[in-house]
Structure 1
Amino acid sequence: MTDTPVEEMNFETAMAELEKVLGQLERGDVALDESIALYERGAKLKARCEAKLKEAEEKVAAITLDSDGNPAGLKPLDPQ
């Protein structure tokens, strides 16, 4: 695990660390207290990855294409 706060990680960094955390948990070779800490960190990493994916999806959805399929600009996001 790194000391980088999850909130400061980009998608790729968070995903890479999440994979490491899952690997450690799957091996089962860590003490119970450490397993709990890993699980909590993994939950935060998962949430960060989901948030970053949602941001990317919203940005892609906001791009409008012209009749030739080229980006023509941004459209406002639908409020939810």
Structure 2
Amino acid sequence: MSTDPQPPTNYEAALAELEQLVQVIESGQLPLEQLLSGYKRGAELLAFCRGKLDAVEHQIKLLDEGTLKPWTPQ
């Protein structure tokens, strides 16, 4: 884990890094200091992903003229 991580370039990159980070943290192989920095990075990535998802949801609401229909899998 780098000491000065770069912001993710997009949602997919952030999600992939977050998934990889979770695997490393769950492995139990990190020293405590790296575990803490990994947790912090994970929180940053999660906030980034949530922000992107919120923005997309807002755009969908606008495109759907303010009436967001519940999604049901077919």
**TM class, shorter-chain normalised?**
0.7 to 0.9
The aligned runs of 1:1-80 (5 Å cut-off) are: 1=1, 5-6=6-7, 8-64=8-64
The size of the alignment, in residue pairs, is 65
Task: Describe the SS at the equivalent of 2:54.
Answer: helix
Matched residues, percent identical?
A: 34
Taking the aligned partners of 2:6 and 2:48, their CA distance within structure 1 comes to 11
Q: Unmatched 5+ residue regions in structure 1? A: 65-74
Higher-RCO chain (CA-CA 8 Å, sequence separation at least 6) = 2
- Relative to structure 1, the CA distance from residue 11 to residue 47 in structure 2 (aligned partners, 3 Å threshold; closer, same or farther) is same
Query: Which of these two proteins has the greater Rg computed from alpha carbons?
Result: 1
State the TM-score, normalizing by the size of structure 1.
Answer: 0.71
Q: Unmatched 5+ residue regions in structure 2? A: 67-74
Task: Describe the SS at the equivalent of 2:30.
Answer: coil
The structure whose residues are more often strand, as a share, is: 1
Q: Could you tell me which residue of structure 2 aligns to residue 69 of structure 1?
A: none
The code of the aligned residue for 1:17 comes to E
Taking the aligned partners of 1:9 and 1:39, their CA distance within structure 2 comes to 20
